[in-house]
Amino acid sequence: MTIESLLTNIANLLDAHGQTEWAQSFRRLHSDYKYDPEMTKGRIRSIYGGSGSFNDIVLHDPNGVPLIDENNELDQMRSQLFQSCR
């Protein structure tokens, strides 16, 4: 998957599960990537570290139960995106 498609797919998954602020961030990164891919790759790498980072997101249903399949999908895309931006 390309970086652009990963950014879109991650945004859609986050949006579908109530993580609208994160989804908007990924849509902005997608837009920025078109104009300055190298700078955007650096910004993408920076969202992986620290407290409250992209790595800390766990998707839940409305009752607070973690969504196993969706979280596995997110983890896979999260790893692919990081590897693609190295």
Confidence bin at 56 (pLDDT 50/70/90): very high
Structure confidence by residue, pLDDT tens digits, 4-53? 999 999 999 999 999 999 999 999 999 999 999 999 999 999 999 989 99
Q: Determine contact, residues 13/77, Cβ cutoff 8 Å.
A: yes
42 CB-near residues (< 8 Å, 6+ apart): 85
DSSP at 85: T
Residue ranges per structural domain of the chain: 3-84
In DSSP terms, 60 is beta-bridged to: 66
Q: How far apart are CA 84 and CA 23, in angstroms?
A: 19
60 backbone dihedrals φ, ψ, rounded to 5°: -130, 160
